[in-house]
């Protein structure tokens, strides 16, 4: 089987640099591109990146890239890739996705069918199986994807399975919750550190708070779930377990964190508590039913992160306008606190009552959103009047 791989970590638009930083923190050189981060590695790298990356969507093996302006070029390009070094005989290898963008080949079902046909022929040829007898595909599954962009084909195998945002701790959720990996990325984009207090005043099912606690305690986001690669014959289960054990040893469960989540909806607070319990963080995060307008604190140098109602989460335009205005008034006295607010409302600053120090464009699924960033006035504790 193959020992070294070309790999990509896919990411939502605007989060590629965050993913790249995470990969470099694992000691892996990488290259950031639109929608993905490229890097190289072995089986251990595949395992580590799946278990540790917080902001990525998936980890994929790049089997090969080649020009494909005709179906013949596509067939020959796929056929000449080294499938035999990745897919053992008897494995299932569905071509689950084809994407064609600005290319002469644009019929995606045909691209899928030809890709499959070429792989079948290559494996039949390598394993000396007659073309008249179909290959048996009753073993572990290798999901294959192909993207043709500007007449260049990229063929990949997904190592992850369910997207990395599915950490495994969500027992329930509210309407249109933020994905776990986007929540983690926004925390990493903020100026929060584990020694600072953090508040989510519109916490919903508790995603920001839980992700912050996992970051603060250095808990690997993939510690509580399984991945597609674990079923592959050439992935040593002992190596997988050893990396999981290493991740467990790196967690710091003794660190003291100050993380709070509030929401006006008591039902959501109960869901948040259950989600925190599922993660083993029920005694780390304070969840409490409370109106945003009632938020007050004497603590300093904290961080507020909020994903208030917007887009499909809007219930009533006027009510949301009032909420944004109330946010501005409620947060205004908290001079030393930084605020990070995610919304698709382009009039947010006007309704909030002040211009952001910085604004970052992101995408929550297909919805364009902005992260409005307000940086607090840093005050040393010795400067506080007693």
CATH of the domain at 58: 3.30.2130.30
385 domain residue, yes or no: no
Helix or strand or coil: residue 176?
coil
Residue 53 domain flag: yes
For residue range 257-299, list pLDDT tens digits in order: 999 999 999 999 999 999 999 999 999 999 999 999 999 999 9
Q: Domain for residue 170, yes or no? A: no
Sheet strand arrangement including 358-364: 285-289, 259-263, 198-200, 303-306, 338-343, 367-374, 358-364
Same domain, 269 and 367: yes
Burial 44-69 (b: 16+ CB within 10 A, else e): ebbbbbbbbbbbbbbbbbbbbeeebe
The per-residue pLDDT for 318 is 82
Specify the CATH number for the domain of residue 215.
3.40.50.150
Q: Are residues 118 and 187 in the same domain?
A: no
From CA 328, how far away is CA 354, in angstroms rounded? 8
Task: Dump pLDDT digits (tens) for 51-76.
Answer: 999 999 999 999 999 999 999 999 99
Of 91, 89, 93, nearest to 129 (Cα)? 89
Q: Tell me, yes or no, whether 24 lies in a domain.
A: yes
Q: What is the pLDDT of residue 317?
A: 75
* 33: phi then psi, degrees, rounded to nearest 5: -130, 175
Indicate if 272 and 339 belong to the same structural domain. yes
Q: Residues 222, 227, 87, 240: what is their CA dihedral angle, to the nearest 10 degrees?
A: 60
Per-residue model confidence as pLDDT tens digits over 331-341: 999 999 999 99
pLDDT at position 170 over 90? no
Question: Residue 384 pLDDT > 50, yes or no?
Answer: no
Q: What is the pLDDT of residue 176?
A: 66
Question: Does the pLDDT value for residue 386 go beyond 60?
Answer: no
Q: Give pLDDT tens digits for 218-264.
A: 999 999 899 999 999 999 999 999 999 999 999 999 999 999 999 99
How many domains are contained in the chain? Answer: 2
Among the ranges given (13-27, 109-123, 307-321), the one the predictor scored with the smallest mean pLDDT? 307-321
pLDDT at 364: 83
131 and 259 share a domain? no
Structural domain of residue 132, as residue ranges?
A: 5-158
CA distance 202 to 25: 31
Shared-domain flag, residues 298 and 355: yes
Q: How confident is the model at residue 18 (pLDDT cuts 50, 70, 90)?
A: very high
Q: Kindly indicate the confidence band of residue 385, based on its pLDDT and cuts at 50, 70 and 90.
A: very low
**For residue 211, what are its two tokens?**
């992700």
pLDDT at 383 over 70: no
Q: Domain for residue 233, yes or no?
A: no
Contact 56, 21 (CB under 8 A): no
Say which residues have a Cβ less than 8 Å from residue 362's Cβ, sequence separation at least 6.
12, 13, 14, 15, 182, 186, 342, 368, 369, 370, 371
The upper half-sphere exposure of residue 26, i.e. CA atoms within 13 Å in the direction of its Cβ, equals 26
- Token pair, residue 321, equals 């306008």
* Whether the predicted pLDDT of 355 surpasses 70: yes
| Structure tokens, 232 | 């592959």
Is 86 in the same domain as 209?
no
For the chain, percent helix, then strand, then coil, each to nearest 5?
35, 25, 45
- Asked whether residue 187 falls in the same domain as residue 56, the answer is no
- Residue 338's SS3 state is strand
User: Residue 25 contacts by C-beta under 8 Å, 6 or more apart in sequence?
Assistant: none
Q: How far apart are CA 163 and CA 364, in angstroms?
A: 15
Q: Based on the number of CB atoms within 10 Å of its own CB, is 238 exposed (0-12), middle (13-18) or buried (19 or more)?
A: exposed
Dig out the tokens for 97 from the structure: 């996705």
Least confident among 7-16, 72-81, 173-182, 324-333: 173-182
> Both 193 and 154 in a single domain?
no
pLDDT of 379 higher than 90: no
279 and 194 within one domain: yes
Half-sphere exposure of 321 (CA within 13 A, CB side): 5
Decide if 110 is inside a domain: yes
Nearest partner of 139 among 236, 58, 228, judged by Cα = 228
Is residue 227 in some structural domain?
no
| Partners of 156 in the β-ladder | 62, 145
Q: Could you tell me which of 91, 106, 68, 181 has the C-alpha nearest to residue 144?
A: 91
Residues 147 and 186 in one domain: no
How far is it, in rounded angstroms, from Cα 291 to Cα 266?
10
Residues 334 and 187 in one domain: yes
Same domain, 262 and 142: no
Instruction: Please give the pLDDT value at position 224.
Output: 85
Predicted confidence at residue 103, as pLDDT, reads: 97
Query: According to the model, what pLDDT value does residue 211 have?
Result: 98
The two three-digit tokens of residue 141, written as one number: 């599954």
pLDDT of residue 380: 66
Position 171 in a domain: no
């Amino acid at each position: 089987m193959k020992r070294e791989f070309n790999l990509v970590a896919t990411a939502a638009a605007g989060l590629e640099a965050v993913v790249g930083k995470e990969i470099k923190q694992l000691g892996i050189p990488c290259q950031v591109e639109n929608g993905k981060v490229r890097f190289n590695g072995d089986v251990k790298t595949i395992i580590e990146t799946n278990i540790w990356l917080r902001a990525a969507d998936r980890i994929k093996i790049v089997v090969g890239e080649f020009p494909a302006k005709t179906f013949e070029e596509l067939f020959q390009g796929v056929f000449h890739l080294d499938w035999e070094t990745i897919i053992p005989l008897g494995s299932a290898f569905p071509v689950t996705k084809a994407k064609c963008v600005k290319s002469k080949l644009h019929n995606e079902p045909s691209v899928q069918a030809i890709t499959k046909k070429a792989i079948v022929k290559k494996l039949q040829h390598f394993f000396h199986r007659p073309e008249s007898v179909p290959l048996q595909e009753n073993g572990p599954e290798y999901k294959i994807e192909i993207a043709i962009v500007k007449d260049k084909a990229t063929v990949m195998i997904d190592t992850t399975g369910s997207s990395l945002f599915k950490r495994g701790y969500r027992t329930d959720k509210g309407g249109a919750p933020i994905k776990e990996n986007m929540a983690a990325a926004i925390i990493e984009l903020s100026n929060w550190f584990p020694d600072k207090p953090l508040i989510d005043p519109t916490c919903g099912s508790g995603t920001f708070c839980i992700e912050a606690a996992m970051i603060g305690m250095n808990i690997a986001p993939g510690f509580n779930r399984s991945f597609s690669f674990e079923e592959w014959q050439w992935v040593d289960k002992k190596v997988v377990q050893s990396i999981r054990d290493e991740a467990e040893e790196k967690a710091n469960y003794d660190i003291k964190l100050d993380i709070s989540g509030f929401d006006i909806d008591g039902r959501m607070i109960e869901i948040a508590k259950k989600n925190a319990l599922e993660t083993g963080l029920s005694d780390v995060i304070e969840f409490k039913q409370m109106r945003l307008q009632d938020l007050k604190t004497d603590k300093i140098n904290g961080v507020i992160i909020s994903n208030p109602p917007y887009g499909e989460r809007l219930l009533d335009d006027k009510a949301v306008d009032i909420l944004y205005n109330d946010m501005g008034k409620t947060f205004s006295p908290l001079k030393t606190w930084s605020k990070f607010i995610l919304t698709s409302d382009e009039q947010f600053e006007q309704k909030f009552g002040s211009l952001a120090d910085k604004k970052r464009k992101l995408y929550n699924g297909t919805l364009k959103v902005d992260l409005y960033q307000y940086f607090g006035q840093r005050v040393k504790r010795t400067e506080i009047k007693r």
